[in-house]
Amino acid sequence: MIVSLLVIVVIVVLSIPAAAVFIPLAAVTGNVRPLYRATCLIVSVGYWVAGIRIRVEGRELVPAGRSCIFMANHLSNLDPPALISRIPGYTSAFTKRSVFKLPIFGYCLKLGEFIPVDRSGNTASAQASVAVATRLLVKGLHITTFVEGKRSTDGRLLPFKKGPFYLAMETGAPCIPVSIYGTETLMAKGSFGIKPGTARIVFHQPVNPGDFATREELSEAVRAAIASGLPEWMRN
């Protein structure tokens, strides 16, 4: 718990001046990149203070100059900031709608064009989220999604949501499977405590949606790639 409190203090101390400078700058100029880079740097400092090492493999496999859809498994609240801060270029991400209601942070998500999603299963809402993501891909942004839709309680892969694969089939954007492991022991689901240790992020070869006849086939290919980078007990 002491480590968690220390991380929070460090992030708050760094975030206040960064927010004071970069949020107004982004709001006035429409350029969110300086805010994005500052946030990624603060995240990296937070992990360093916590004693968490992030080992990254395969980032060179991400195609340069193309908007991609990054599809990862999900084990811990540590996953999104760890992954997003290590994706080449600039990414938006599917994010729970409730998070947009948080003061300041929610506004930053809106500035960064992150995509609100509902967990209600409402078809119209899901289609609206996919439409926003399609527009951002055309604009040149990456999209990041945790394809299980929620954190795994025991580390094993859960069934994948359909939405990201509709998006991939509709846009033809390369899918980048990403395997994450180690974070399940550093900050378990339902726990506020952070432990020092090593987390691993593995980027895999791009999967081309055009090579598959159906969304289901594409989903299975991405699942196999993600599973290949996980410890055997997580592969389900």
Per the CB < 8 A criterion, the answer to whether 187 and 194 are in contact is yes
CA 158 – CA 180 distance, rounded (Å): 14
Q: What is the pLDDT of residue 110?
A: 95
* pLDDT number for residue 127: 86
The CA radius of gyration of the chain, in Å to the nearest whole number, is: 17
Tell me the pLDDT of the chain (236 aa) as tens digits.
787 888 889 999 999 999 999 999 999 999 999 999 999 999 999 999 999 999 999 999 999 999 999 999 999 999 999 999 999 999 999 999 999 999 999 999 999 999 998 876 667 888 889 999 999 999 999 999 999 999 999 999 999 999 999 999 999 999 999 999 999 999 977 777 899 999 999 999 999 999 999 999 999 999 999 999 999 999 97
By DSSP bridging, strand 197-203 and strand 175-181 are: antiparallel
Domain range summary for the chain, segments of one domain joined by +: 55-234
Q: What is the CA angle 201-91-187, rounded to 5?
A: 40
Q: What pTM did the predictor assign?
A: 0.94
Arch. (CATH architecture) of 55-234:
3-Layer(aba) Sandwich (3.40)
Q: CA torsion, points 235, 126, 79, 182, in degrees to nearest 10?
A: -10
CA distance 129 to 29: 25
Tally of helices (H runs) and strands (E runs) in the chain:
8, 7
The pLDDT value given to residue 120: 67
> What distance in Å separates the CA atoms of residue 23 and residue 154, rounded to the nearest whole number?
38
